[in-house]
């Protein structure tokens, strides 16, 4: 990954963008949310306090997915009625990026994908079966969540959200899709579920007693 350096417009601390396509990051010194436009960096807000997080993944955690190495460079944190989860922005050694969903010991890796034909005419309720280019997915969860905080580098601006709605779809062979209604028009993320061991993670956050 190519890196670019700058300084926080709020505190002057050094800012390193590890991924050239990053649009937003957070200052590790003053917790400012920073948005990059061309060569300028603008402060647009401040990071909310993170809740107690049991995840061992952190910025800088490395892993393997489909024989490609990746590193976690940012995250979005959500909360809902049964807890919360992280969406980690990961960048591969090939330069492409994806998302690692980290939801209470359940993991999935997905990338933004165009909607298949006819998808926008389907009502997505739990149990609905969707034909996505010949692959049949079943809606398993519909989650109404709230944006909680951000950290690190993201490929788009995401700092002033409130309510978010997600629809998850799965197949019996571990294929996975999420429809993200926090954007207009909605975004479709497609990938697969994985286990913690399959990701071969390293540089993990350590907890007392490990």
Q: 27-74 pLDDT, tens per residue?
A: 888 888 888 876 678 777 677 666 667 789 999 999 999 999 999 999
3-state secondary structure of 123: coil
With cut-offs at 50, 70 and 90, classify the pLDDT of residue 139.
very high
Residue 50 to residue 172: CA distance in whole angstroms: 34
Q: 61-90 pLDDT, tens per residue?
A: 999 999 999 999 999 999 998 889 999 999
With cut-offs at 50, 70 and 90, classify the pLDDT of residue 154.
very high
- 168 vs 2, higher pLDDT: 168
Q: Please report which helix (H) or strand (E) contains residue 145, including its range.
A: strand 135-152
Portion of the chain with pLDDT greater than 70, in percent: 91
The predicted structure's pLDDT at residue 192: 97
The predicted structure's pLDDT at residue 160: 66
- Full set of structural domains in the chain with CATH: 4-46 (2.20.28)
The predicted structure's pLDDT at residue 3: 65
Is residue 182 within 8 Å of 164, Cβ to Cβ?
A: yes
Residue 9 to residue 3: CA distance in whole angstroms: 19
What the block records as the tokens of 86 is 């992280």
With cut-offs at 50, 70 and 90, classify the pLDDT of residue 19.
confident
Residue 146 to residue 78: CA distance in whole angstroms: 6
pTM over 0.85: yes
- 53 vs 93, higher pLDDT: 93
């Amino acid at each position: 990954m190519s890196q670019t350096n700058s300084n926080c417009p709020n505190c002057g601390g050094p800012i390193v963008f590890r991924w050239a396509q990053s649009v937003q990051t957070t200052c590790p010194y003053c917790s400012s949310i920073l948005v990059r436009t061309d060569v300028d960096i603008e402060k647009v807000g401040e990071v909310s306090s993170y809740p107690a997080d049991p995840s061992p993944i952190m910025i800088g955690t490395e892993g393997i997915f489909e024989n490609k190495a990746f590193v976690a460079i940012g995250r979005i944190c959500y909360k809902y009625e049964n807890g919360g989860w992280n969406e980690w922005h990961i960048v591969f050694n090939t330069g492409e990026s994806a998302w690692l969903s980290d939801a209470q010991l359940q993991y999935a890796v997905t990338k933004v994908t165009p909607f298949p034909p006819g998808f926008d005419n389907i009502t997505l309720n739990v149990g609905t079966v969707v034909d996505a280019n010949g692959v049949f997915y079943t809606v398993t969860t519909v989650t109404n969540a709230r944006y909680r905080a951000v950290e690190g580098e993201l490929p788009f601006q995401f700092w002033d959200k409130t309510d978010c709605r997600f629809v998850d779809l799965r197949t019996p062979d571990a294929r996975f899709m999420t429809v993200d209604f926090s954007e207009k028009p909605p975004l479709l993320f497609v990938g697969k579920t994985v286990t913690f061991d399959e990701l071969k993670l390293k540089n993990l956050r350590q907890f007392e007693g490990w």
